[in-house]
Chains A and B, each alone.
Chain A
Amino acid sequence: MNGVITIFRRELGSYFATPVAYVFIVIFLIMSGALTFYLGHLYERGQADLNPFFQFHPWLYLFLVPAIAMRLWAEERKTGSIELLITLPISVGQAVVGKYLAAWLFIGIALALTFPLWLTVNYLGEPDNGVIFTAYLGSFLMAGGFLSIGACISATTRNQVIAFIITVVICFVFLLAGSPLVLNFFKIWIPQNIVDSLALLSFLTHYSSIARGVIDVRDLVYFVSLIGCWLYANALVVDMKKAD
């Protein structure tokens, strides 16, 4: 546990030691605001809720989370600091979890800084704050899902650009796993029943039910186990490729 906390603290500190944190937060806030007002028509709808805000999160995360995740391991490998990290008395698993949690909390901070929107709808009307809270939770979980994919992919390469692009593609597939776009692509060469279960992996399906304010245990289990699987793979990849 100590190892996890040590890595977690260093990582979180490093975000704020470089412009990464500020650039990310500012871009995240500007884009989420712009999408909410211009594409989501928050005002024009005349409803006091945050649906226009939350409905764009999957698309926002599709590009912004891989941008955070790409540096997690690729940078360590590029600069060689991974050699130092691995030779410290900290297990690979602890390092994987510590780094992941730091990045996740960082995204959480950016997400929490959207609170003025929440204040706005409360000022304008009487929204269901329970639904808003649940939607925030769902959004945070989904970001965690994207991040776990990105962390694992980041460990496979020394090149952050490659890590970014591959992560975006995989996240895109996961996001739209239930849609014809992805399903038709797989239908050609894998059996129908596997395609059907593929549809269950869709981020969008699981997210949209939480975003509507419905907490279903299955959705929680989905995100938590997805994150667990990718992080496990992450540790394996780090162990295999650390010296390449």
Chain B
Amino acid sequence: MINIERLSKKFGHSVVVDDISFSVGSGEVLGFLGPNGAGKSTTMKMIAGFLAPTSGVIQVCGFDVAKQPIEVKKKIGYLPEGGSSYGEMTPLQYLDFIARARGLGGSRKTMRKDEVIDRLHLEKVLGQSIETLSKGFKKRVGLAQAILHDPDVLVLDEPTDGLDPNQKHEVRKFIESIASEKVIVISTHILGEVDAICSRAIIIDEGRIVADDTPEGLRNRSSSNKLDDVFREITQAKLS
């Protein structure tokens, strides 16, 4: 459902994403790993249609991001890295705005809104402006926004960043519960998370894919059988 071919992104002279190709199919949960600045967020921003690639092709559900951006954006639910939203709005107003922007109307709109509010436990904060919410609630509002239109493809940039262990657990459970029928790409720094919810992991470093395997397969690459060690070995190989 997501097809990426020879994707590159340059900012000035620095190459942030360097000729990467991969595809993700339905039912897959792809964990995107890598050190800070490796190009994870940049890649996700390009999939979501926020950044234009320098070269290469991205297809989502058969639509080309560069040629049919609106079609692609309809198919994707996207959680930006900062989870940024309009702080002065309440979650209710915000979800209402997103629903309109996504073309949801009438009973379907009410139904979807009720469902995401229920699934992400937002009932208590519906009338409070988003900027006054705790980090955990802000993140959940961001997630609610991303899944509101029940998209086929979810691109979540660090969905559990800044959450406490309980909230992390909840978000993971939530992602697991919807995983079977969707394509999900998540980026994370927490390797345990990859083990818990991803069916596949890609490690990128300095804009290139350095590993593409199941969490199981990755772990087997290290004698200690720990993802942390594999991650360090792969991304620091050139340092030693």
Contact = CB atoms under 8 A, between A and B. Distances in A.
A6 B50 contact: no
B73 A14 contact: no
A188 interface: no
A10 B84 contact: no
Nearest to A5: B100
B76 interface: yes
B1 interface: no
A6 B82 contact: no
A14 B88 contact: yes
Nearest to A7: B101
A120 interface: no
B22 interface: no
Contact of B80 (A18, A84, A90): A84
A87 B100 contact: no
A79 B89 CA distance: 14
Interface in A76-123: 79-81, 83-84, 86-91
A95 to B, nearest CB: 10
A89 B70 contact: yes
B125 to A, nearest CB: 16
Interface string A64-86: 00000000000000011101101
A124 B50 CA distance: 58
Contacts of B97: 6, 9-10
A84 B89 CA distance: 14
Interface string A1-40: 0110011011001100110000000000000000000000
Given A6-B100, A84-B80, A243-B51, A89 B74 contact: yes
B98 interface: yes
B45 interface: yes
B48 interface: yes
Interface size class of A (residues with CB under 8 A): 20 to 34
A122 to B, nearest CB: 39
Contact of A83 (B45, B76, B88, B102): B45
A125 B8 CA distance: 72
B165 interface: no
B45 A81 contact: no
B85 A84 contact: yes
B85 A81 contact: yes
Contacts of B82: 80, 83
Given A6-B101, A17-B88, A243-B45, A83 B80 contact: yes
B93 A84 contact: no
A17 B89 contact: yes
Interface of B: 45, 48-51, 70-71, 73-74, 76, 78, 80, 82, 84-89, 93, 97-98, 100-103, 129, 145
17 contacts: A6-B101, A7-B101, A14-B89, A80-B82, A80-B84, A81-B84, A83-B80, A83-B82, A83-B84, A87-B49, A87-B73, A87-B76, A87-B78, A88-B98, A89-B70, A242-B50, A243-B45
